[in-house]
Amino acid sequence: MSFQRSLRLFSQPARFQIPGRAVCQKRWLATEVDASKLPLAGVRVLDMTRVLAGPYCTQILGDLGAEVIKIEHPTRGDDTRAWGPPYASYTEQSGQQGPGEAAYFLAVNRNKKSIGLSFQDKAGVDILHKLAKQCDVLVENYLPGALKKYGMDYESVSKVNPNIIYASITGYGQTGPHSKRAGYDVMVEAEMGLMHITGHRDGPPAKVGVAVTDLTTGLYTSNSVMAALIARGRTGKGQHIDVALADCQIATLANIASSCLISGKPDSGRWGTAHPSIVPYKGFKTKDGDILLGGGNDRLFGVLCEKLGKPEWAQDARFKTNPDRVKRRDELEDLIENITKTKTTQQWLDILEGSGMPYAPINDVKQTLEHEHTQARGMVTEIFHPTCGPMKLVSPPVKFSHSQPRIRTPPPTLGQHTDELLTGILGMEPNEVEALKNQGVIS
């Protein structure tokens, strides 16, 4: 099934000046031509997800050209609209009250359209059913069975739209002993092995600094949706996709899980920035920060020894081979750090430049976003938000040679596109839409 879609144009100028800042780089605006060149142009997605894993999945689909219709609670919206600070402040001209738009929500909801809709009213459920009939994909992240009472479970939806690709994201999946349990990222990190292998060598288990289980689940789901769309092109049939945070977390244990399965032994625990089988391979203190060094083989270790001013270490019987270095890990790492602490991070970067030795400064997030390579790769885009004005967001990361995904539209305000979607897709009259707003069914 293919649909012709149109995208609303934004009237703000492509270049604008913010007081106290230099002129921003050109902002890419949405046009029908832009969208038509994208890989998922013509695909319509009903997004019934909130928080992170689901919205991250649907944002990827939106980046790639799909029209994403985000269903939100008519007064609260997505949970993450309240997850602040920080907030992007409303402009005075917007007339909006409150702290602004939460940075958390802004991170995973670009290239989407928002409709505020209540499930508690039959009229709202009827609208959901009608939208589902007009969509190629539905993504939801409710507990198994929760949508059945609204007739929005896969079995019900597939009867009225047998071509639909229906993806369910849950903590533990649609089957299994824990399928009815709610599961946030950190709980799954804890239960499914990741937290146990994360943290300092002698410290307690730690969660990863970003909700990586949610994010990898979103990635797996978006890949699976696209694969199902390709399969539908061959078979003409839609299908149900069951994605669990727990399963995705186990899958991304990768070589650590494989090591346990092959050896029959428990994992080797936490290693901080170090590697259990390679030395040196970790972060070292400098005079003003940290630098990560990776001597992955004997040749690279020799290069590092030269740059540290200790060429004799490469032939030292204690450190000559990687197994030797692993045995004397603490001794060698202490020797290296005694030297790295004598210079600044930048001095070490200058010394190691062009050496072929893998190295990197350990930057904070602000430094990362301001990094010259980040800027050169276009990984930060300045856009114009309808109620907050100019703001910077992280860009879609993958570069295509013929159809470049960009931020075509900013993350929507709650119910920003309700009128457009109900009149445009469902053919409702403006007075019908207004009546439903007055009843609190939509916003």
332, 361, 390 — which closes off a domain?
Answer: 361
Same domain? For 195 and 73 the reply is: yes
298, 326, 361 — which closes off a domain?
Answer: 361
Q: What is the mean pLDDT of residues 359-379?
A: 97
List, for residues 55-110, the tens digit of each pLDDT value.
Answer: 999 999 999 999 999 999 999 999 999 999 999 999 999 999 999 999 999 999 99
Q: Sign of torsion, CA 79 80 86 90?
A: negative
Residue 193 forms part of a structural domain? yes
Residue 65 forms part of a structural domain? yes
Residue 70 forms part of a structural domain? yes
Peptide bond into 280 cis (omega under 30): yes
The range of the structural domain enclosing residue 320 comes to 281-361
The whole-angstrom separation of Cα 429 and Cα 431 is 5
Same domain? For 355 and 390 the reply is: no
Is there a contact between 105 and 402 (Cβ–Cβ < 8 Å)?
Answer: no
The domain that holds 343 is classified in CATH as 3.30.1540.10
Selecting among 214, 242, 298, 330, the annotated active-site residue is 214
* Secondary structure class of 320 (helix, strand, coil): coil
The whole-angstrom separation of Cα 117 and Cα 127 is 9
Same domain? For 189 and 319 the reply is: no
The whole-angstrom separation of Cα 149 and Cα 119 is 10
In this prediction, residue 33 carries a pLDDT of 54
pLDDT band at 31 (very low <50, low <70, confident <90, very high): low
* Secondary structure class of 399 (helix, strand, coil): coil
Name the residue with tokens 């930057």: 363
In this prediction, residue 403 carries a pLDDT of 87
Active site residue 47: no
Residues with Cβ within 8 Å of 213's Cβ and at least 6 positions away in sequence, in order, are 53, 185, 188, 189, 192, 194, 245, 248, 249, 252
Residue 344 forms part of a structural domain? yes
What is the CA angle 195-243-207, rounded to 5? 15
Instruction: Return the closest-CA partner of residue 395 out of 384, 386, 406.
Output: 406
Residue 54 forms part of a structural domain? yes
Residue 272 forms part of a structural domain? no
Question: Domain count of the chain?
Answer: 2
Same domain? For 81 and 118 the reply is: yes
Q: What does the block give as tokens for 288?
A: 């003003």
In this prediction, residue 19 carries a pLDDT of 34
Same domain? For 285 and 165 the reply is: no
pLDDT band at 434 (very low <50, low <70, confident <90, very high): very high
Same domain? For 145 and 218 the reply is: yes
* Secondary structure class of 286 (helix, strand, coil): coil
| Whether the predicted pLDDT of 4 surpasses 80 | no
In this prediction, residue 295 carries a pLDDT of 87
Could you give the count of Cα atoms lying within 13 Å of 334 in the half-sphere of its Cβ? Answer: 4
Same domain? For 193 and 80 the reply is: yes
Q: What is the mean pLDDT of residues 135-154?
A: 97
Which run of H or E residues covers position 135? Answer: none
Amino acid making up residue 383:
I
Same domain? For 377 and 357 the reply is: no
| Whether the predicted pLDDT of 385 surpasses 50 | yes
What DSSP assignment string belongs to 199-249?
S-TTS-----SS-HHHHHHHHHHHHHHHHHHHHHHHHS--EEEEEEHHHHH
Same domain? For 288 and 200 the reply is: no
| Whether the predicted pLDDT of 407 surpasses 50 | yes
List, for residues 305-359, the tens digit of each pLDDT value.
Answer: 999 999 999 999 999 999 999 999 999 999 999 999 999 999 999 999 999 999 9
347-354: long-range contacts (C-beta < 8 A, 24 or more apart)?
Answer: 347/286, 347/287, 348/286, 348/291, 349/291, 351/307, 352/307
Same domain? For 354 and 216 the reply is: no
Is there a contact between 312 and 335 (Cβ–Cβ < 8 Å)?
Answer: no
Predicted structure pTM score:
0.90
Same domain? For 73 and 192 the reply is: yes
Q: How would you class 254 by CB atoms within 10 Å of its CB: exposed for 0-12, middle for 13-18, buried for 19 or more? A: exposed
What percent of the chain has a predicted confidence (pLDDT) above 70? 93
As a whole number, the mean pLDDT across the chain is: 92
Which run of H or E residues covers position 263? Answer: helix 254-263
334, 361, 388 — which closes off a domain?
Answer: 361
Residue 265 forms part of a structural domain? no
In this prediction, residue 207 carries a pLDDT of 96
pLDDT band at 296 (very low <50, low <70, confident <90, very high): confident
State the DSSP code for 102.
E
The domain that holds 416 is classified in CATH as 3.40.50.10540
Same domain? For 206 and 71 the reply is: yes
Residue 267 forms part of a structural domain? no
In this prediction, residue 35 carries a pLDDT of 79
Is there a contact between 116 and 75 (Cβ–Cβ < 8 Å)?
Answer: yes
List, for residues 263-288, the tens digit of each pLDDT value.
Answer: 999 999 999 999 999 999 999 999 99
* Secondary structure class of 113 (helix, strand, coil): strand
